[in-house]
A = this chain, B = another copy of it.
Amino acid sequence: MLLVRPCHSSDLEAITALLERSGLRLSTLPRDPELLAERVQVSLESFAQSPSRQGKERLLFVLEYSPGNSDSDRDTPQVIGLAGIDVCAGNGAPFYSYRRDELIHASHTLNVHNRIPVLYLTHELTGSTLLCSFMLHPDWATSDHRALLMCSRLLFIQQYRHRFADTVISEIQGVSTEDAQSPFWDSLGAHFFAMSFAEADSHSAYRSKTFIAELMPPHPIYVPLLTPAAQRVIAVAHDQAQVNIELMEREGFSKGPHIDIFDGGPTYECPAVRLSATNPARIKQVRFGGHNAGQTYLVANTSFQEFRCALVRFSDGLGDVIRIQETVAGLLGVKDGDAVIYVPFKSGGR
């Protein structure tokens, strides 16, 4: 049985193991155990709606596999995935991106008409809701698991729409070479940060972002002055990220004008209202019973702090009630008569 739920302190070890297995760039997730523990603590406070976290909520969800009855060999649940939501991108500090724009340089006399792409440093996305820290254990990276982890986050946002920003964004890893070098960084950031891409990336995960304000060049960048290699990767996603992009596009996301200031990777955006338009959720009362058969739905309870979301099969009718087996309901923390929220589940990715 698979379950998405808020991250607990006890998950720390499992997350550390996950991070070690992951090759993906996760600038929002430090590998340092102490900082990671702090990060989990922030998530706990955020789910508990601690007033001190107001406007800086950073939620972390885990995807947990529990063997269930049918598999008595392995009886402890195992964390196989992680996903985060920063309620306000920047978490109270400026959130940096480059915005792609074009200027036209035209001369009648010389019969020249050049469209010159330009990158503007902007804080425009500050305060948007940011999807982040997405990670699946390589051994469990199936399309079902991916879709479950991704869509449960979106269902959560749909359910608590008023707690999130009007725009939901996700930064996609940009192109890097085999030896983990970023052509975009080498042509731009490297000149100003006096460090490698990997270093900058890890600083950005470990430390406050003040160093970006201090070191990032404020003036617009003319794209033709970047190296050809850097120009080629602007707003281009890393191959490994394609499968997530397809999933997000299905849910209503599209590539926006912003790119990552470090590696030039694209940002995908979605107006929060479009989430429910694309995949509208229904809310009904649960009655114990049913046969765990029918269509597969992504079902969540209606608790913010004790959020649980799982894949459940049932037959949805015209009435106000759906029937779910008691064991499954227990997993979701739902009692007979409680409400649940659900959307039809489509597997996704490769």
B-contacting residues of A (Cβ < 8 Å)?
Answer: 90, 92-94, 99, 101-104, 106, 108, 113, 120, 122-124, 126, 210, 213
Q: Which one of B94, B102, B210 contacts A104 once the chains associate, using CB atoms below 8 Å?
A: B94
Chain B residues, CB < 8 A from A93: 104, 106
Q: Are A124 and B101 in contact (CB under 8 A)?
A: yes
Which 8 pairs between the two chains have the least Cβ-Cβ distance?
Answer: A94-B104, A104-B123, A103-B123, A101-B122, A101-B124, A104-B126, A102-B123, A94-B106
The residue in chain B whose Cβ has the minimal distance to the Cβ of A213 is B106
CA distance A123 to B126 in the complex (A): 24
Chain B residues, CB < 8 A from A103: 94, 122-123
Most central of A104, A113, A124, A126 by chain B CB within 10 Å: A104
Chain B residues, CB < 8 A from A113: 92
CA distance A6 to B126 in the complex (A): 47
List 12 extra interface pairs beyond A93-B104, A103-B122, A106-B213, CB under 8 A: A90-B104, A92-B113, A94-B103, A94-B106, A101-B120, A101-B122, A102-B123, A103-B123, A104-B123, A104-B126, A108-B210, A120-B120
Taking the closest CB of chain B, its distance from the CB of A227, in whole angstroms, is 25
CA distance A93 to B104 in the complex (A): 8
CA distance A108 to B108 in the complex (A): 50
The 21 listed contacts between A and B (C-beta, < 8 Å) are A90-B104, A92-B113, A93-B104, A93-B106, A94-B103, A94-B104, A94-B106, A99-B101, A101-B120, A101-B122, A101-B124, A102-B123, A102-B124, A102-B126, A103-B122, A103-B123, A104-B123, A104-B126, A106-B213, A108-B210, A120-B120
Chain B residues, CB < 8 A from A120: 101, 120
